[in-house]
A = this chain, B = another copy of it.
């Protein structure tokens, strides 16, 4: 049967995101990183000293859900929580975290080029600006 939903932007957006995230998940699995783990590592690396709340605000992850996520990353030896004051912690990559992130970056770079390669050339440059318009404030 032909899929009558495939003309709807909302539907195609969801299908495309599901397919691509499943792909990226599978590629990151050998590193024992989830997609969200990788984005958190990237953000900590980009601004060492961020707090859990700050990272969560950028990635739209609830404060409460950052706790088990960071616990996992810390248990895996990838991230350290360093006290800023008596209320909050600064997040830093460990050397192991930095090396894991380097591998993740290589995988993600390949993933991104594979993604773009799937898109017909004439549409390619329009994707990111169109998508950003959908979620950015």
| Secondary structure dominating the interface of A | helix
- Interface membership of A63, Cβ < 8 A: no
Pick from A8, A14, A24, A35 the residue with the most CB of B within 10 Å.
A14
Interface string of A96-115 (1 = CB under 8 A from B): 00000000000010011001
- Interface membership of A26, Cβ < 8 A: no
CB neighbours (8 Å) of A133 from chain B are 118-120, 123
Q: What CA separation (Å) do A43 and B6 show in the bound complex?
A: 11
Please classify how large the interface on chain A is, using the bins under 10, 10 to 19, 20 to 34, 35 or more: 35 or more
CB neighbours (8 Å) of A9 from chain B are 112, 115-116, 127-128, 131
Given contacts A16-B17, A60-B15, A132-B16, contact A1 B54 (CB under 8 A): yes
CB neighbours (8 Å) of A136 from chain B are 6
Residues of chain A having any CB pair with chain B under 8 Å:
1, 3-21, 24, 35, 39, 42-43, 46-47, 50, 54, 58, 60, 108, 111-112, 115-116, 118-120, 122-124, 126-136
